Amino acid sequence: MVNRMKFYIDGAWVDPTGNNTREVINPATEESMYAIALGSKADVDKAVAAARRAFRTFSRTSRDERVALLTRIAEVYKKRIKEVGTAISDEMGAPMALAERAQAGAGLGHIMTTIDVLKTYKFEEALGSATVVREAVGVIGMITPWNWPLNQIACKVAPALAAGCTMILKPSEYTPTSALIFADILHEAGVPAGVFNLINGLGPEVGAAMSEHPGIDMISFTGSTRAGIDVAQRAAPTVKRISQELGGKSPNIILDDADLQKAVAGGVAHCFNNSGQSCNAPTRMMVPQAKMQEVMTIAKSAAEKAKPGDPKAEGTTMGPVVNKIQWDKIQGLIKKGIDEGATLVTGGLGRPEGLNKGFYVRPTVFADVTNDMTIAREEIFGPVLSIIGYKDEADAVTMANDTPYGLAGYVWAGNVERARKVATELRAGNINLNGVPNERSAPFGGYKQSGNGREWGKFGLEEFLEVKAIAGPSPA
């Protein structure tokens, strides 16, 4: 049982310096579950001091010591994975199967992948008269979101530990419990005091204090583009490194030789996964204009197979969105789609039938969308799909790239080489062909306003490493 009124600093659960709290609301019931303590700049100062002290020794630990530490973390995590999944379901509304297998499971997956990378990673290489050494950046400030809470925590913490960094984590105030359990897991696994620290709090207080802090060497941030810009501006005076994974408005190009049934149904399901609350969701489905009516029929059928409801109930495939702010925003954007003349294929305003409380959104599909409509430009972060018709392949690629974002792209084609050619033309960091999921050992991150960092696997480890060149005579 975690104590939500304490923070984890310097290897111990401690009281916050102030007495501010916040209620955590269950999005499925709209009822308060409990309160959490909120931190302040004074708490950040304490955590940074602990992390800086710990860095002196932890950064000098060996590869074998870090592999052993991460292995112990994985072992403890496995024992508590159901508890993690339940906390995620309670706080952000994911159906239990998704919360345990995909959400909690992703955290374990990143830890295991990092162990594999660390075992063989070359921290030194010879270049002429120089030895190039890769060593820990230092103290890392981590700010993580609510939509995939343990995925985002683990894919930062595991490689930072592997690199020899120390850290302060500010998880989302909407999903604090899974993060507190994670801190408990690290404590039980024997992470040395001060190496990992956790402070709950709000972005304008704790997040801002971390971004501005001269004792933090790097900020690893996942969240909205708007918040990412604020973090970068606050961090600029201290010239700290910034790694950002931000928003998206990802295109899903279905070429004219694709298996239309499979591509459209798969695209709808992927868009609605996690109630549409994924930064890489394929929210702009681009289809041959001549096939629009056929696509609408398939998409309507696929969307109406979704089963919104109680996250704990058997058969639920879609839970609520995380809070009323998000629900209101999504409702406003659905109304924009209707007002701007898109064809409402299914779904629309209000809650799904039979649900009179909770932040549930009707699974919604718009067709005949143009790429200049609000629903095609703004990140909705809910189960809302926009279907856009294109004239030819070149038109599809042009529209796909006509966005300030560049996190992900999807291509479906009968000819895989044709799909690969289109993939090379998309300005995005992750491209998936014919429904193949992301590879956890490959890099994850975006172009343009979707961010400037790369996470996962070897690339995630390298985010937390500095590069040093030592030139000198060869050893005698």
Active-site positions read 245, 279
Q: What is the rounded distance in angstroms from the CA atom of residue 96 to the CA atom of residue 313?
A: 8
Q: What is the rounded distance in angstroms from the CA atom of residue 28 to the CA atom of residue 93?
A: 6
How many Cβ atoms are within 10 Å of 195's Cβ, its own excluded?
Answer: 25
Side-chain half-sphere exposure of 157, counting CA atoms within 13 A: 31
Q: What is the rounded distance in angstroms from the CA atom of residue 146 to the CA atom of residue 160?
A: 20
Torsion of CA 297, 299, 304, 310, to 10 degrees: 180
How many Cβ atoms are within 10 Å of 217's Cβ, its own excluded?
Answer: 23
Structure tokens at 253: 């190009």
Residue partners of 447: CB distance under 8 A and separation at least 6: 406, 407, 427, 428, 429
Q: What does the radius of gyration of the chain's CA atoms come to, in whole angstroms?
A: 23
Q: What is the rounded distance in angstroms from the CA atom of residue 11 to the CA atom of residue 16?
A: 15
Q: What is the rounded distance in angstroms from the CA atom of residue 84 to the CA atom of residue 75?
A: 14
| Start-to-end CA span in the chain (Å) | 58
